[in-house]
Amino acid sequence: SQRSLIMVNYAVQRADHGEQPIWMSVVLAAMTGSMGRPGCGWGAGYATMDATGVAPGRPSVATIPKVDNLVPDFIPVARIADTLLHPGKTIDYDGQRLTLPELRLVYWCGGNPFHHHQDLHRLTRAWQTPDTVVVHEAWWNTTAKFADVVLPAATGLERDDFAAGFSDPHLVAMPKVREPEGESRTDHHIFAALATRLGYEQEFTESRSESEWVRHLYEQTRADLGDEATLPGFDAFWRSSTAELPALAGPFPGSFEALRADPQRFPLSTPSGRIEIFSEEIDSFGYDDCAGHPTWFAPAEWLHAELADRFPLHLISNQPASRLHSQYDNGGHSLGSKIRGREPVTLNPSDAASRGIENGMIVRVYNDRGCCLAGAVLSDDLMPGIVQLSTGAWWDPVQPGRAGTLDRHGNPNALTADRPCSRLSQGPSALSALVDVERYGDLAPEVLAFTPPDLDH
């Protein structure tokens, strides 16, 4: 009856058939007739993404030139373990048929698969199949410990750079505050050294040092903007630490505002150029787990599944409040949130009482895939039948490589299923997981998540 804003959380899609509630929320917003009007319509991730409420565009900022990848094959990111375990397997993905390649070498630079991937025991088995695993890393996290070769990488505080958010109208100078520690090098330095060994130093560096690239990219950005920009020269920018980019005027292609104003001139990137309540293209795929319109599909694991008789609690593995993903889990702020060194797990008091669990107890969270220790927190803010264990605690298995081994630290991906949302997206379904929780009666083993390996043996 009134103009409305329909807002959804990005996490809704990280569950069995997670595309459906996102799609249905867009349909609901379209049905209200208020799409593209101020304060109305549809949006995702409000208060979590920096683009919300900001002009959806900024002038382009120069980046290091890209080289065409001669290998056209790709895999959905959540299918890493499947690819390593089942090379040659064919899967459906967004109307395509993909053949999973055989990977003999894994080179991981940026990111932490032993943080974000589901069913870490399965990933561990998969991680043994390639001949070699090479990792760039600044910390002895689980991924570094499971690598064959670790190239120690400098942190962002140990290199010169400048930042430009994808919707931020400012450039920010990032001069290094110290030299890289020990034998660590910046990512650019590592790649330049590899390029030299392979005979491609000139092609990679273009005879510029890392600091010269920073200056060059800034000055190239300044030149590309032309007379419309008032960016200072690089030296002045480096001294002042920030420079403002010129504002772009709307309407912006791809926005609902532009679509409403002129649907012929500003179509969406859908096949019809419109908001698609029914998608003929998706319907043509013939998937049994994603129809041509939003549909309810029962998840494999939820409180109404038969499995709930054995594991009657639904696990929510949300983003943590004390760190960014798994970054700086070894820092003081994240460590300060732990309970006796373990990640906190929140339960409703009624679920805790029926299990003899009290605040601050060390508990074991478990299902058929694995188990982990955590520190109990009781809260009425959580509805009965739900437990909440944030992501990002560095995985700390007692016996790495042994299926189902105890995680001492509290990583929920020891419990989540490596099962795709659907054949359409092949995305992760971490939020569809059933568990149970019990008091841990034994003496809890020491947390070794932050202990470096013994390099003398």
Burial (Cβ within 10 Å: 0-12, 13-18, ≥19) of residue 199: exposed
pLDDT score recorded for residue 89: 97
pLDDT-based confidence at 225, cuts 50/70/90? confident
Q: What is the pTM of this model?
A: 0.92
CATH number of 77-163+170-244: 3.40.50.740
Q: Which two tokens stand for residue 304?
A: 């109404």
Q: In the chain, what percentage of residues exceed pLDDT 70? A: 96
- 147-156 average pLDDT score: 96
Angle, vertex CA 68, rays to CA 64 and CA 71, nearest 5: 135
Give tens-digit pLDDT for 340-355. Answer: 999 999 999 999 999 9
Domain spans of the chain, in order of start = 5-56+250-285, 77-163+170-244, 306-439
Per DSSP, the three-state class of 194 is: helix
Please say whether the beta carbons of 173 and 148 come within 8 A.
no
Query: Could you tell me the CA-to-CA distances from 38 to 32, 53, 249 in Å, in that order?
Result: 14, 11, 16
Helical residues (DSSP H) of 226-366, grouped into ranges: 234-240, 256-261, 280-285, 332-335, 349-353
pLDDT-based confidence at 23, cuts 50/70/90? very high
CATH fold match for the domains 77-163+170-244 and 306-439 = no
Q: Which two tokens stand for residue 131?
A: 């001949």
pLDDT score recorded for residue 250: 66
Average pLDDT, the chain: 93
**The pLDDT of residue 285 is above 70:** yes
Q: In the chain, what percentage of residues exceed pLDDT 90? A: 78
Q: Which two tokens stand for residue 87?
A: 């090379």
Distance CA 327, CA 264 (A): 45
Lowest-confidence pick of 191-195, 222-226, 278-282: 222-226
Lowest-confidence pick of 53-57, 163-167, 349-353, 373-377: 53-57
pLDDT-based confidence at 238, cuts 50/70/90? very high
Q: Which two tokens stand for residue 448?
A: 């070794």
pLDDT score recorded for residue 363: 98
Q: Which two tokens stand for residue 240?
A: 């002042």
CATH number of 306-439: 2.40.40.20
